[in-house]
Every structure is written in structure tokens, then in C-alpha cells.
Structure 1
């Protein structure tokens, strides 16, 4: 930079396009890896405990249907996903919440659920 009377009169810039390309690729990769379950809607579908006792289906209309053991539709209600956090309110008014650890693992109500892939 060149100054005159304390003011900038001329400026010079150098753009390293290689470094810019590396930076932009890293930013895209970083953003893709940080997408939340809310953004990807990866939460939709069936989530099951390791022993298969609890089967928890998250439906696209923000409703869930949970089977326990041989009891089908033991719990039903609404849910809301914000980022990687999920909040439930069943049709009787009971509330619960959980967190998606990644696209295959949900921690909810003291249980660990795994996404059932078809």
C-alpha cells in the first residue's frame, strides 16, 4: 500500500488461485460433513434398538409410531427435529427427547437406536 497524508492512495493485491481453490474445496467438504439430520431429513425411517425390542418409525408428516415387543403402536405422537436434536410429544402428552449422533445412531430415552437400512 502507498499512503499520502495518512490516507491510502494506492493498493496492490496478489491472488494465489491455487490456494483459493484449495480453500474453497475444503469449505465445501467441511459444510457437507456438517449437514444436520434436520437439513438432510436422514432421520426419516425405522430406528431399532440392538435387541429389536423397540422399533421407532419417524414418518415424513412429523408423526412417529413406536412398537414395543409384541405391542404394535405402543406409543404414537408428534416429533420435531432441530439440527441433530429431536423432541417428542406423544398423543397422551408425555414428552421425551434425543440426539442423533450420526446418520445411523440415535440416543433417545436411555436407549441407543440404529437406523434400519432397507
Structure 2
């Protein structure tokens, strides 16, 4: 189990991209009408998040504060 304050739903302001960070270290990302567009594992170290989707693609991001995530040129907010 992941023990950090960032578990939950993170969404871009336009609602187009939605990251569900699950407590078991998995994530599910929806894009537009495409639910579960990407799925995989994530790991949080401090304020940094590292993603590895199930196809092997990797990405990362930074939590600016408890409610703001910068990832891949996007800003996601906790809902």
C-alpha cells in the first residue's frame, strides 16, 4: 500500500485528463471519452511521482502542493 497524501482523483481544469491514483500503487488515466486510456503503476517519493504504464511507457510529475500536480505540461488538481 502507498502511504502518502496524494491518493485520489486528479483532473485538468477542462476535465479532459483524469488520473485516479489508487492506494495500491496503481493508477488509471482517462482522456476525454476514453476511460482507462492508460493504466499502470506509480511511485511517489517526496513530491515527485513516477509513472510506468502497463505497456512500459514512463512519465513523471511533481506535486506543487497538496492540491496541484504538474505532469507532462499539464496542471491537474485534486477533486
TM-score normalized by the length of structure 2: 0.95
Could you tell me how far apart the structure 1 residues matched to 2:8 and 2:23 are? Answer: 8
For residues 50-89 of structure 1, the aligned pairs below 5 Å read 50-89=13-52
- CA-atom RMSD in angstroms: 1.2
| Matched length | 78
Partner deviation per Cα, 1:7-51 (whole Å, 9 max, x = no partner): xxxxxxxxxxxxxxxxxxxxxxxxxxxxxxx86x21100000000
Q: What SS class does the counterpart of residue 93 from structure 1 fall into?
A: coil
Which structure dedicates a bigger proportion of its chain to helix? Answer: 1
Q: Which has the higher contact order (CA 8 A, sep 6+)?
A: 2
Structure 2: segments with no counterpart, 5+ residues = none
TM-score normalized by the length of structure 1: 0.64
Find runs of 4+ consecutive structure 1 residues off by over 4 angstroms. none
- Determine the structure 1 residue equivalent to 2:58: 95
